[in-house]
Amino acid sequence: MTRKLAPTLALCLLIVLTAATSTPVGADVSQAVAEHIENERRGRGTPYDKIKAEPPAQVLAELRKYLRDPADGARLEVVGLASVVGSKHPQRGVQQQAARLVLDVALGDADYGVRDFALSRLHRFFSHDAFKDDMRRDIHRALQQKNLNGYLVQVAGIAEVRSAAPRLRQLANAGSWSAQLALARMGDPMAIRYVIDRVEGSKDEVRRVRSLLDSLAYIRQPEAVEVIIKYLFSDKSTPASPPDVGSVPYSYYAVRLLEEIIEGFPTGIANTEAGIVRARQWITQQLAPQPAAAAGQPAPATAQATRSGGVANLKIKR
């Protein structure tokens, strides 16, 4: 009799042990998120370190419980936490879970300020891979509204909501800079040319270098990268604009943007002459002609390589 009961007892023991070890993990995550949100309600900012140490999928699931919290600050913190926890996670599923949460806030929150903050986070933190088809459909529907938020329009470009291209063209023809950027991000040749010409044609040097160059980084096109590289190798500096900012070399701005959009670009380069030299050397190496193809094999020739030359050797993040 004892031998027959042993497997059953062992199974029961395994179930008890599993429950004992797994339940506190979920409880710990729930408590950590609850404490963080409560501190935010009371105006006590708390570090993200404890939250970031928890399993991200569980954190995101807990955060969803606070989407209808009466405190705007709590909902803002949900967006901030979701962006930090999920946007750069190596697993695409976690990125998508985080982006879905932030998009739900962006499209559904009752407060304009919270929605705007959520859209700005989608714009800044999330890449193309974080958006699933159902999210693209929701963005497409939102773009049909009037008085569109510029961030929403540009998020459509990041997510590559190609079904919205006619609407974006309509907005662009009506003067929307954000729509031109979104179309350029999705590869529209006319929009790419328009964006580059407008950036390069700006006579306000400070605005062109400190602000408009970001637009070239946003569209992620080889032609735009070529322009940013030109600024990397420039020895010019922006005029000082008192009282807050002095003269800054063009190359410093270019390094920041290239680090953001080019795979493998040296990271952590300080704004120093040595850092700029290193960045220029790396780019020069990448732009060098590739080894000739083996005998009997045709050399690769693509439209991008023909159009952009050495920039075709760079891997631009999407």
For residue 279, the tally of other CB atoms under 10 A from its CB is 22
Per the model's pLDDT, the better-predicted residue between 46 and 54 turns out to be: 54
Whole-angstrom Cα Rg for the chain: 25
Q: What is the pTM of this model?
A: 0.82
Q: What value does the mean pLDDT take over residues 285-299?
A: 63
Lowest mean pLDDT of 113-122, 165-174, 280-289, 295-304, name the range: 295-304
Q: Residue 5 burial (CB < 10 Å; 0-12/13-18/19+)?
A: exposed
- Exposure on the CB side of residue 176, measured as CA atoms within 13 A: 25
Residue 123 pLDDT exceeds 70: yes
In this prediction, residue 244 carries a pLDDT of 67
Per the model's pLDDT, the better-predicted residue between 227 and 8 turns out to be: 227
Burial 14-25 (b: 16+ CB within 10 A, else e): eeeeeeeeeeee
Burial 90-128 (b: 16+ CB within 10 A, else e): eeeebbbbbbbbbbbbbbebeeeebbbbbbbbbbebbbe
Looking at every residue in the chain, the average pLDDT score rounds to: 85
Nearest alpha-carbon partner for 303 in 216, 183, 223: 223
Q: Domain spans of the chain?
A: 29-130, 187-287+305-318
> Of all residues in the chain, what percent carry a pLDDT higher than 70?
84
Return d(Cα 240, Cα 49) in angstroms, integer: 38
Residue 291 pLDDT exceeds 80: no
Q: What value does the mean pLDDT take over residues 233-249?
A: 83
Q: What value does the mean pLDDT take over residues 248-264?
A: 94
pLDDT in tens, 191-201: 999 999 999 99
> Of all residues in the chain, what percent carry a pLDDT higher than 90?
66
Q: What value does the mean pLDDT take over residues 153-181?
A: 97
| Unique residue bearing structure tokens 């949460």 | 101
Written as one letter, the residue type at 63 is L
pLDDT in tens, 17-34: 343 333 344 678 888 888
Return d(Cα 155, Cα 240) in angstroms, integer: 33
Residue 298 pLDDT exceeds 60: no
Residue 308 pLDDT exceeds 90: no
3-state secondary structure of 99: helix
Residues in CB range of 90: below 8 A, 6 or more apart: none
Return d(Cα 261, Cα 263) in angstroms, integer: 7
Return d(Cα 139, Cα 156) in angstroms, integer: 7
Return d(Cα 97, Cα 236) in angstroms, integer: 44
For residue 293, the tally of other CB atoms under 10 A from its CB is 10
| Unique residue bearing structure tokens 């891997």 | 315
Confidence of residue 8 (pLDDT cuts 50, 70, 90): very low
Q: Residue 158 burial (CB < 10 Å; 0-12/13-18/19+)?
A: buried
3-state secondary structure of 316: strand
Q: Residue 205 burial (CB < 10 Å; 0-12/13-18/19+)?
A: middle
In this prediction, residue 305 carries a pLDDT of 35
In this prediction, residue 290 carries a pLDDT of 63
